[in-house]
Structure 1
Amino acid sequence: MTASSDPALSSGAVRVAIGTSTGARVSEHFGHATRFEIWEVGPAGSRFLETRNNRPACGSGCGDRAEAVMDASVALIADCKAVVVSRLGECAINRLTKLGILAFETDDTVDDTVRQLAAFDGLFTAEAVA
């Protein structure tokens, strides 16, 4: 899919962040992710919006700044309803949950992941909790 120049969400659609190093498969651990693909996902279909580069929190060599770097990673995707990565630690889950962001782990392809999310009714309800 190609990026759209119109960032407005379609009716009923939400933004989803996918941790992927290649764009083909969900491959990034949240704390190690160098980029997130942002997708608009809705019951009627999905489209790629943009890629957001990220400074990984884990192994970043930030020492006592690691908490701030993790917070920055979470803030980078704060406008998303969900994040999908290959692995996710408790620290990230807690931060995402506080913002109401659903968190999923998989190693599926990005295309399969987007299709599965579009079919998941819980993604589109206000009371969905991670």
Structure 2
Amino acid sequence: MELISFSQNGSTPFQLLLGHNRNILEKWASLEECLFSSNTFSSELKEEVRRTLAFHNGCEYCKAKGIPSEIIMDQRIQTAIHAADISCEKIHMSNDEFSLLKEVFTDSEISELLALICFITACQRFGALLNLGPVCQI
């Protein structure tokens, strides 16, 4: 059960919790739209990163949306997932770990990927902190 009441603002359980401050909700949703509508990465890559992070960040709401795929052949997705895993384990990547990113992604793509990872992590940590469950009574 969620630790605070749902607000009247937003269209998802996550947004209804964040919606107690309409200005934050609007800007958060704007950044979400920017990251998820970008054509830099495939929707499959973004979803695999989201799923991977959900299990690290402990958000039951996000975990309920699906587990990470067991077999991934695409090198870009594999590398993005590896970066997501590392981001949950430590604050800094080693030079070797960062070199792997640079073999697959441009500097611009690395910047966007890490922004995506940090944004998803913030969303999931918010959900976990407020005990957002997989089935909500709105």
TM surpasses 0.5: no
- The structure with the greater share of residues assigned to helix is 2
Greater relative contact order (Cα < 8 A, sep 6+): 2
Q: TM-score, normalised by structure 2?
A: 0.27
- The structure with the greater share of residues assigned to strand is 1
